[in-house]
Amino acid sequence: MWGEIYHEIGVGNMDKRINNFLSKKINNSKTAREEATKIFNDVGYREYWNCYNYPWFLIQIQKLNNSLPDSKKIKFHPSDINFDWYKCSSEEDYEKQVVSLFPKRDSIIASNIIKRYDKSSSRGRKKALIILNYRHAFLRDTHCGLNNMCENTGRYLADKYGEKVANVYIMGLAYPSKKDLDEYTVVKDGKWDALFELTGKTDIGFNLKNTPFGREPLDIIWSGFSKDSLLYQDTFTGLVFYKPVDKHVNIMGWNNSISPNFYNEFKRRVRICGRAEGKNISDEDVENDGFFPKITNDDIHEIFSQLIPEKTNYRKEPLREAYFETSMNILLESIDDEDLHKNITLPIATVKQILTEELQV
C-alpha cells in the first residue's frame, strides 16, 4: 500500500488542512462531505475546480483512514503553486501570486513533490503514488508550439530519481490531431480499444518497453503543435486499459459546493479571475452569465442519451461538454432547490416532465 499520494491539483499550502481532515475520526457521512466541500472550494487558484472526483477521492481516503492505525494512515499532498484566496483582494494580487508563476508551474509541482517525498522516505515511507494529468506526467519535455518547449513535471522527477520512477498511462481519449482543440479523438483511431474489447482484456496493465504498443508513435499529444517524434515507450513506462472509452463517465461539479454562505465569495473570485484575464466582469455578468450552466430541452435529452443509453435511442459519443454533466447533477440532486431554478432556462415543470419521461419515475 502507498503511504503517500501526491496530486497535481491543489495549492501546496493546503497540505496541512487536507491531512488534518484525512486523519480525523469521522463516522458521519454528512459531516465528512461538508468538510470535504469546504476544502474543495479553496483547493485551487481558479474560482472553482469543477472535477467531481477530487472531493470524492478525499472522502474515500478519509473513510479508509478511519480503519487504519496512525502509522498506516494515507497522506495526500496537493502539489501546485502556493496560493490563498483569502489573501488575494484584487486582479493585481492574482497576477502577482498566480499568473506570473504559470511558466514555472511544472517545476514548482515537481519541487513540492520532491521536498515532501524526500522527507517522508527518510521516515521509511518509500512508496508513493503521484497523480498528474496529461503532459505533466510525461517523462520527456515536449513542444507546445513551434518554439515553445513545455517542461514537464514527470521529466523533473525522472531526472531526480531515475529508474525508481514508473510512469503509467491510464488510457482514455487522445488530444486533437487538428487545430480545433475541441475535437477529441480516440487513441490509435480506436484500434487499441477494439483489440482489448475483442480479446476480453478490459482490465489490464503492462510494461510498454519493446512491445508493439510501446513502439507505436505517441498520438495523445497535439500533433499540430509538437515537432517531437515520440513513441509511447519514450513517454510512459506502462499502460493500463480499464474499460472501453464509451463506459467511462465524465462527471463534473459537486452538488451544493456553491452554497449560500459561499456564493458571495465565489462571485468575488469570478470577478478577480476574469479581470486578471482582461475581461471586465461585473456583478450582473456573474449573476446572468457567470459560471452556471444554461440548459435547454435538447441539452437534457443529450445528457440522458449518454448516461442512460438503454432508455433512449440517441447516438452515443465518448465525451460530453462539462456543463451537460454539471446540469445533470443539478437536475437529479437539486431539483427542488429554488436557488438553482433561476439558472435553468426551462420552466421547472418541463424539467420534471422530462425527468419523469426519461427515468420512468
Please choose, from the candidates 334, 332, 327, 308, the residue with its C-alpha nearest in 3D space to the C-alpha of residue 252: 327
Amino acid (1-letter code) at residue 19: N
In angstroms, the CA 232 to CA 218 distance is: 5
Block mean pLDDT (10 aa), the chain, length 361:
86 97 92 94 90 93 94 95 96 94 95 94 85 91 76 95 94 67 75 90 94 91 67 94 83 81 88 83 64 49 48 36 43 44 42 48 37
Residue 342 has a pLDDT of: 41
Which pairs from 225-232 meet CB under 8 Å and 24+ separation?
225/143, 225/144, 225/145, 225/146, 226/142, 226/143, 226/144, 227/143, 227/146, 228/140, 228/142, 228/143, 230/140, 230/142, 232/169, 232/208
For 4, 16, 38, 66, 77, the CA distances from 32, given in Å and listed in that order, are 21, 17, 10, 11, 18
Please count the other Cβ atoms lying within 10 Å of the Cβ belonging to residue 64.
14
Q: From its phi and psi, is residue 221 left (phi > 0), alpha (psi between -120 and 50) or beta? A: beta
Residue 192 has a pLDDT of: 92
Alpha helices, DSSP H, located in 183-236 = 191-198, 232-235
Residue 90 has a pLDDT of: 93
Please count the other Cβ atoms lying within 10 Å of the Cβ belonging to residue 77.
22
Q: Do residues 96 and 43 touch, judged by C-beta distance below 8 A?
A: no
Residue 63 has a pLDDT of: 95
Residue 325 has a pLDDT of: 45
- Say how many Å lie between the first and final Cα of the chain, rounded: 43
How many Cα atoms sit within 13 Å of 220 on the Cβ side?
22
Rounded to the nearest 10 degrees, how much is the dihedral formed by the CA atoms of 263, 266, 270, 272? 120
Residue 123 has a pLDDT of: 78
In angstroms, the CA 4 to CA 317 distance is: 36
Give the distance, in angstroms, between the CA of residue 67 and the centroid of all CA atoms in the same chain. 27
In angstroms, the CA 77 to CA 7 distance is: 6
In angstroms, the CA 248 to CA 243 distance is: 7
